[in-house]
Structure 1
């Protein structure tokens, strides 16, 4: 098994795959080729990453790149929108159908801008907003201090119980009634358990707050019926379109019809200019794919794989936040393994296992050198791995963490070879068949 390709050793992308790019900019083409190889022969366990289909890739790279389209369908500031309007209306209709919402806006550039639009629609600078604390699994844009949302608004945070790793809804309710926030966010980036949207909805109504469900991580699971939907309970739903939804890097805001005007105005002209029409096209394709029966199978397989991986890790003595997972994500606390999360993540990367270091609740270490590692199963499930493969994955993680503790690079190289061999049997969606790539 060859070592991972780095920019220094990258070979040019195959001309048949990227002929114009290879001719115009061979240096950049080489980097693209290197990334194709890296995504093909490594085990990608970052829970926010995935593989998009060839159809999504093609839609995202069309001549729709060439159009400016400020405004909304039928109400643009540029002419020549006959086809663009139809593309956006198609994406909106598919979003409404897939998630069962009254209104959808597919223009936000990504998840953070989408959340900023929520603040612009429902709050004024200085207002109190509420979300899960970042070290507890929340997101920067839920009012955390280092984010603009924590600078422009008064952010108050809830957390999880130390003994269970689960949200304490009595505490959430007490905090909401005391602080009376304009907006309450539920959801986050490192939450391994099912989000109780109904409980959050009841608290938000009692406190007179707008409830925003940030489902960026679990949108695909919701679309596939593998996680409860926030639609009956949340006023607004914010999501990225990649991650478990397997679309391009974009975002959507969905809401009840009564909030449609405020949400649309906040996105444009409040925060953005023209939408990225090529991304809108990719979103439309991904939503169409997510409406197929096979996607439901995929979503449930993601959860099954995560559960099997969690059980295999527990059997090897790993400590998991909340004791396991209900969704696509597993958060490991490596304190008992005597390896910092960053050291473990970097060692696993050298072993061909791509993860990210992450804080754990009540982490005594600093965020840039935390105690935990966050892993997930969306990407490996897209490649066709099943629950029967998860003990092997857990074994590689176990051996990799132990090797990191010993500083044993030979052991990491041995794992790298084994990972590459398995990956060669499971070609990745959207990646070309090239020399050195799995067939």
Structure 2
């Protein structure tokens, strides 16, 4: 009834064939398909080993060496290692590695540094911002007064004059930079000037470009930001979770208490171990080469799409992600994303700035070079991927064409194997 993967990924699951089969199916999907979703990446065996370790059994609360539970000597050493590596990687003085997600990291910072009802100036989700920055469907959106800035209709890039005007009008306590679907570099120095003018804190969420920051390929939020948050997967290619980084010691207690007990409880020590492993990898020389390839491959993909008549929001990308506007093609992101999945290409539908269509069937696609680069693809492979995407956009309902591309995708993936025992 079930075909169970033999080897590393099925150890210990022999007594649960249904679960083993589902995990084996996901492994096959990752091996045989191409991941282009910006929120995903491929971790190393080192990260998998750390995150699947006996640390799953350990419960701790509080900060290292200041726990509420006993038996924490090794947990303390692991979390302290993760903190030290995070600070070294990003050149800052303090880090909290406990957030279960980037959204938790953001919520903890807001709770620790702001009062309920304070005004936050953040990027509108419809323009590329992240829902955890104040979307009305989230607790953040309910607990604080959110003022949203967007992008210029002409350039589809941040309009610093508009942000400054909104800041002067609304006098926010915090300005948030960074988003979920903004493909361009951000001028943190200019945003800090605006924040200082109105007496606001500047928080940067660098989840989608943290790896580029760590390797000098993107403007650094420090010293301009008061506090920086990020996820540890995506461009950091690590365990799923979040980080908070800062330099001002006077913020330490407020940020730490905002995380615990503010927005979450016990530390997931197996995940912190996975973070420590991936942060250690990010400090190795090869991580810089990986991120340089991420940028080059993203440009290759963007140029390949543009050369085949697809419009890119803002005209291109400065990082690993990009947005494709399907409006000129008379289709939508939901339709094309489903067709691409049938062809072995995983993407996500996404709204574009000033999108007249709803989130359920938006006008755009969000793409990323992160995971493909992690498995070894180069510019030539991403040029080929651009051709496949363009072909699917032109004929998303042509099942024979989708099947042909799926075969070609599997052939490409076979040349760049992952997780082979």
Q: Which residue of 2 aligns with 1:432?
A: 420
Residue of 132, 141, 148 corresponding to 1:150 = 141
1:379 corresponds to 2:371 = yes
Q: SS of the counterpart of 2:271?
A: helix
- For residue 262 of structure 1, report the CA deviation from its aligned partner: 0.9
Asked if the contact 1:10–1:33 (Cα under 8 Å) also holds between the matched residues in 2, the reply is no
Aligned CA distance change for structure 1 residues 419 and 338 (closer, same or farther; 3 Å): same
Q: Deviation of residue 388 (structure 1)?
A: 2.0
* 1:141 partner SS: helix
Give the corresponding residue for 2:296. 304
Check the 8 A contact 1:225/1:299 in 2, yes or no.
no
**1:338 maps onto 2:330 in alignment:** yes
Q: CA deviation at 1:432?
A: 3.1
* Residue 403 (structure 1) shift: 1.8
Find 1:124's aligned residue among 115, 123, 131: 115
> Is the CA contact (8 Å cut-off) linking 1:17 and 1:432 kept in structure 2?
no
The residue aligned with 1:67 is: 58
* Distance in structure 2 (CA, Å) of the matches to 1:303 and 1:141: 26
Gaps of 5+ in 1: 1-8, 434-439
| In 1, Cα distance between equivalents of 2:263 and 2:143 | 15
Aligned residues: 420
Task: State the Cα distance separating 1:100 from its structure 2 match.
Answer: 0.4
Kindly provide the CA deviation profile for residues 122-156 of structure 1, in whole angstroms up to 9, marking residues without a partner as x.
21121111100001000111112222111111100
Q: What SS is found at the alignment partner of 2:366? A: strand
- SS of the residue corresponding to residue 95 of structure 1 reads helix
Residue 182 (str. 1) matches residue 170 (str. 2): no
Q: Secondary structure at the match of 1:249?
A: coil
Instruction: Report if aligned partners of 2:236, 2:282 keep a CA contact under 8 Å in 1.
Output: yes
Match of 1:221 among 212, 223, 226: 212
Cα distance, 1:377 vs structure 2 = 0.2
CA contact (8 A) 1:87 1:280 kept: yes
Taking a change above 3 Å as real, the CA distance of residues 18 and 225 of structure 1, as seen in their structure-2 partners, is same
Partner of 1:375, secondary structure, is strand
**Cα distance in 2 for residues equivalent to 1:302 and 1:387:** 10
Q: 4+ residue stretches of structure 1 with deviation over 3 A?
A: none
DSSP-derived class of the 1:326 partner? coil
Q: Please report how far the alpha carbon of residue 401 of structure 1 lies from its aligned counterpart in structure 2 after TM superposition.
A: 1.1
Alignment partner, residue 383 of structure 2:
391
**Where do 5+ consecutive residues of structure 2 fail to align?**
none
Q: Distance in 2 between matches of 1:16 and 1:278?
A: 18
**Aligned counterparts of 2:199 and 2:414: Cα–Cα separation in 1:** 54
- C-alpha displacement at 1:16, in angstroms? 5.8
Report the CA distance between 1:243 and its aligned residue.
0.5
Specify the SS of the correspondent of 2:277: helix
Work out the CA distance in 2 between the residues paired with 1:253 and 1:16: 33
Partner of 2:183: 192
Q: Is the 8 A contact 2:9 2:24 kept in 1?
A: no
- Distance in 2, Cα, partners of 1:77 & 1:146: 34
Trace 1:314-325 onto structure 2 (pairs within 5 A): 314-325=306-317
Does 1:245 find its partner at 2:233?
no
Q: Which of 224, 228, 236 is the aligned partner of 2:227? A: 236
Name 1:34's counterpart in structure 2.
25
Q: What is the Cα deviation at residue 183 of structure 1?
A: 1.2
Query: In the alignment, what sits opposite 1:99?
Result: 90
Aligned equivalents of 2:315 and 2:94: distance in 1? 37
Q: What secondary structure, in the 3-state scheme, does the structure 2 residue paired with 1:185 have?
A: strand
- Measure how far apart 1:424 and its partner are: 0.4
User: Is the Cα–Cα contact under 8 Å of residues 128 and 154 in structure 1 kept in the other structure?
Assistant: yes
For 1:170, the equivalent position in structure 2 comes to 161
Distance between the aligned counterparts of 1:260 and 1:202, measured in 2? 23
Once the two structures are overlaid, the 10-residue window that deviates more, 221-230 or 127-136, is: 221-230
Q: CA RMSD in A?
A: 1.1
Partner Cα distance (2:293, 2:75) in 1:
35
Q: 2: CA distance between counterparts of 1:144 and 1:130?
A: 12
**Corresponding residue for residue 274 of structure 2:** 282
- Residue 421 of structure 1 is aligned with which of 390, 411, 416? 411
Classify the secondary structure of the residue corresponding to 1:20: coil
- Per the alignment, residue 3 of structure 1 pairs with none
| Structure 1 residues 309-353: Cα deviation after superposition (integer angstroms, max 9, x where no partner) | 111111111011000001001100001111111000000000001
Q: How far off is 1:104 after superposition?
A: 0.2
Whether 2:10 is the aligned partner of 1:18: answer yes
Q: Is the 8 A contact 1:331 1:360 kept in 2?
A: yes
Q: Distance in 2 between matches of 1:387 and 1:100?
A: 31
CA contact (8 A) 1:60 1:279 kept: yes
